[in-house]
Amino acid sequence: MNGFRAEKSKKTLKVELKRTTDEDHGELNSKEYIGRLEEAFKKRHGGTPKWAVASAEDEEEGSLLKTAAGYLAKDVNLPKTTIHTTLLKDFNIGHRFTRGITSVKFHKTRPVLIVADQGGNIQLFKVSREVKKDRFLQSASFSKFPIDSMEIAGQGHSVICSSSRQEYLMQYNMETREVTQLKPPNSVPKQGIRLFAISHDSQFLAIAGHNSHVYVLHSTSMEHITTISLPANASCIKFFPTHNSELWIICETGKVVIANIGLSGNKTTQHTFTDDGAVHGTTLAISHHGDYFATGADTGFVNVYSGHSCRESETPRPLFNVSNLVTSVSSVAFNSDAQLMAICSNIKENQLRLVHVASQTTFKNFPERNRQVTKARCVDFSPSGGYMAVGNDDGRLHVFNIHHFADY
């Protein structure tokens, strides 16, 4: 009896799925078959079977994911109207010194911020959105060595610092916590070292002299490789982000020198031009891929050039300039994809601005009116642009989370 009912039910279901409009030998495609099967189930049992509901939810979820993916694709570009940031309050609470912060650097592979100050202190802090009472990791102090410049070296294992008070450099290994004194060779004049730079692969080190010269050394052996003569003393020097043989220099007179230091037996060459409208150059920045080159002057103006035009022309014209600062520019930085540029001055309070590079405009909602930034001397972005650190002359450390970009 039960078998008969099952057979009858099976035949009835076949009839319900089969329609007179179908061809005699035509087979239903899977989509049509599932649709008729669902309709037959509703007639017999009422409602929709669980697998059909799940299928509908999956389709809805897939649709939502596709929509979200579309929004994400559209959201790659930074909007030019407003920028959403959050100040991570009391970032260095309990570890703040009264001496001015002279350098802030984000580690390239670890979520760590490295801070140097005029008291000769190096501090490491963990970077995250989490609210923590203490982000401090470790520190080191150099006696009678007020730090003027700091760079990450040794493939991220150490930092090297310079001081205008001393004729040598100090190296701090962040893994072993060892401190090493690095003395330039006798071919380099004995003088305080305020400015220096390290190549992207940490192989070469350039020291700015007081006599309109830059001395290029091997960073490990401190062997003197070559000397670059300049039209005036250097205000800022940086190796090109992806070429360890190319050094970009801005001089006190506003002259810009792009020097190829002549590795592997090649002759050292130079290309020189004058920064547009500058009388006294103060700082420079190069975007990660070299698409943009920015200069700062004591007038508060920041010029932004095409990196290509700077290489090719003796009279390159800026793509645009920024005149929001009213005092001498102390620091300029691009984020990793060069959509965002930060500029600051330590002469007056609240002289910190964020620039939307593509539209050549400054964000009007940063910094917020109720968010006072003191005398900002140095600025840096984390590798993915999710954070920006600002070091101030009074020892305050401001770290902002920039919502548009990835976490670190």
Pick the CATH number of 85-402 from 3.30.565.10, 2.60.40.10, 2.130.10.10, 1.10.1060.10: 2.130.10.10
Predicted TM-score (pTM) of the model is 0.81
DSSP one-letter code for 362: E
Q: In this predicted structure, what is the pLDDT of residue 355?
A: 98
Q: How far apart are CA 133 and CA 330, in angstroms?
A: 31
Cβ-in-10-Å burial (0-12, 13-18, 19+) of 174 comes to buried
Which stretches in the chain have pLDDT values below 70?
Answer: 1-75, 264-265
Residue 112 token pair:
């760590």
Q: How far apart are CA 59 and CA 359, in angstroms?
A: 39
Give residue-wise pLDDT tens across range 31-64: 565 566 556 555 555 554 332 343 343 344 344 3
Q: In this predicted structure, what is the pLDDT of residue 1?
A: 47
CB 385 within 8 A of CB 334: no
Q: In this predicted structure, what is the pLDDT of residue 7?
A: 42
Domain boundaries, the chain: 2-74, 85-402
Peptide bond into 367 cis (omega under 30): yes
Q: In this predicted structure, what is the pLDDT of residue 303?
A: 98
Q: In this predicted structure, what is the pLDDT of residue 188?
A: 96
The residue assigned the tokens 């989370």 is: 401
Q: In this predicted structure, what is the pLDDT of residue 69?
A: 37
Strand segments (E) across 92-251:
101-106, 112-117, 121-126, 136-141, 149-153, 158-162, 169-173, 179-182, 196-198, 204-208, 213-218, 224-229, 234-240, 243-251
Give residue-wise pLDDT tens across range 72-110: 434 689 999 999 999 998 899 899 999 999 999 999 999
Count, residues in the chain: 408
CB 227 within 8 A of CB 216: yes
